[in-house]
Amino acid sequence: MNIYEGIKTRRSIRKYSDEKVGKEVVTQMLEAAMVAPSAMNKQPWEFILFHDAEKYQRIVDVHPGGKMLLGAAGAVLVCCDMEKVHDPGYMPIDGSAATMNILLAAHGLGLGACWIGIHPRENRIGLMNELFNLPDHIHPFALISYGYPGEEKAVPERFDEKKVHWDEW
């Protein structure tokens, strides 16, 4: 699959098979995350990998949109080191770039994945701080569930010519 095809066909996958995901595959996802662009190339990201059922349940209790964790092979907590970001306002941009690269890499590697929002919800941020014993300068940004897909999703056509403006509004 070429890059364009991968971008167009990537879908949020919320159901997973029971097949285990090897360390090599997970490492490739993180390698992709770490080549994402960041403001002034500060690369402030940090990642926590986990597959603890108790943590999954605690997250679902606070974040009902995270139910797919209960069937996932694993999850990645994407964090940003606030001592390394170029400016605090760039943290969501840097975190988003790393998160999107993980999602695209997962798709390219035959996995399914889903972005589970953490930032800017204070209750979710607080739970991540508690569950993972994060230092004060580490900000939890997003969770990503992953595993081999247990569902297939159609690819919708989303291009809308009305949203394209040439030279001026």
Residue range 61-85, pLDDT digits in tens: 999 899 999 999 999 999 999 999 9
- Which tens digits make up the pLDDT trace of 29-61? 999 999 999 999 999 999 999 999 999 999 999
The residue segments making up the domain with residue 146 are 10-150
| CATH at residue 32 | 3.40.109.10
Evaluate whether residue 50 is within a structural domain. yes
How distant, in Å, are the alpha carbons of 44, 86, 89, 145 from that of 92? 11, 12, 7, 19
Q: Is residue 105 part of a domain?
A: yes
Which candidate, 93, 83, 84, 82, places its Cα nearest to that of 38?
93
Does this model's pTM top 0.95? yes
Q: What is the pLDDT of residue 73?
A: 98
140 domain-assigned: yes
Q: How many domains does the chain have?
A: 1
Q: Is the dihedral of CA 82, 94, 56, 29 positive or negative?
A: negative
